[in-house]
Amino acid sequence: MSEQLLDTESIEPIEKEPGRFREALHQLKKNKGAIAGLIIIAIFLFIAVFAPVIAPHDPLSQNIELRKSAPFTEGFLLGSDDLGRDLLSRIIYGGRISMIIGVVSVGIALVFGILIGVISGYYGGWLDKIIMRLIDIMLAFPYVLLTIVIVAMLGPSLTNAMIAIGISQIPRYVRMVRASVLAEKEADYVVAERSLGASNFELMFRSILPNCLAPISVQASLGVGEAILSSAALSFLGLGAQPPTPEWGLMIASSREFITSAWWIVTFPGIATLLAVLGFNLFGDGLRDMLDPKLRD
């Protein structure tokens, strides 16, 4: 009897499934935008990690005599700023700061967003109502305004800018995670796992959350780009990094008066910001396509 059972089932071929990494790579190859984004991100990460090795000059050392040198003169590849500091070196070190800002502020937003969103979606009821109304209040403020308000309360500094950006980004993760959890918690496998003795905590964070990761990772990737942009904006307004820190937004702000006389001082940090944000956005969009099962082959 059991022999027969085995026979009928063994007809089904057991093909070797490609690994997850190979499959991800295959999906990635089809998406040119995502590859471009990934390459840009990789370059910026490389520059950020090896900044001291790559930078030709000390980003902080001033040379008043060589101030506002044009690109390719006096040994400055991208020229020098109004205090005679090497622009290229400052942009390279600025990349380091921007990457840290992006990762840390999105990290803050993710941790709290996921925690609050999962709890809100899973338990529902009055707890969910209270959390969602608080989130509504946060969303009622324009994003930049909310960030500025928080920095103004904490005091202007780079660390506080990261915290402010992180907090301002929390609501979108809460809403997204909550929506995913609401959809997933009714799934049969959740009831099945509960029937096998899983606790609420296990169900929330071990069963349901991994099933919600696709939209979260897309949003996180896009969020890094936005965080870099926001920190540049805050520094531009004087609420983020303080001089002489080589931060892109701050560099643009402090040199905008020279835009007619020495265009390079304000242009190159701007291009760097643009490229970094573009990289994360391209990658985020590509990730969304990759994780959408309907667009797979």
Residues binding another protein (CB under 8 A): 1-2, 5-6, 8-10, 12, 14, 17, 187-189, 191-199, 202, 206-207, 210-211
Q: Which is nearer to another protein, 75 or 210 (CB)?
A: 210
Which one, 51 or 208, has the nearer CB to another protein? 208
Closer residue to another protein, CB minimum distance, 20 or 133? 20
Name which of 12 and 65 has its Cβ closer to another protein: 12
Min separation Cβ 197 and another protein, Å: 3
Give 199 or 242: the residue with its C-beta nearer to another protein. Answer: 199
* Minimum distance of another protein from residue 132's CB (angstroms): 20
* 3-class secondary structure per residue, the chain: CHHHHHHHHHCCCCCCCCCHHHHHHHHHHHCHHHHHHHHHHHHHHHHHHCHHHHCCCCCCCCCHHHCCCCCCECCECCCECCCCCEHHHHHHHHHHHHHHHHHHHHHHHHHHHHHHHHHHHHHCHHHHHHHHHHHHHHHHCCHHHHHHHHHHHHCCCHHHHHHHHHHHHHHHHHHHHHHHHHHHHCCHHHHHHHHCCCCHHHHHHHHHHHHHHHHHHHHHHHHHHHHHHHHHHHHHCCCCCCCCCCCHHHHHHHHHHHCCCCHHHHHHHHHHHHHHHHHHHHHHHHHHHHHCHHHCC
Q: How far is the CB of 174 from another protein (least distance, A)?
A: 22
Taking the complex as a whole, how short is the minimal distance between the CB of residue 236 and another protein, in angstroms? 42
Q: Which residue, 155 or 197, is less far from another protein as judged by CB?
A: 197
Closest separation between CB of residue 26 and another protein, Å? 16
- The CB-of-285 to another protein minimum distance in angstroms stands at 23
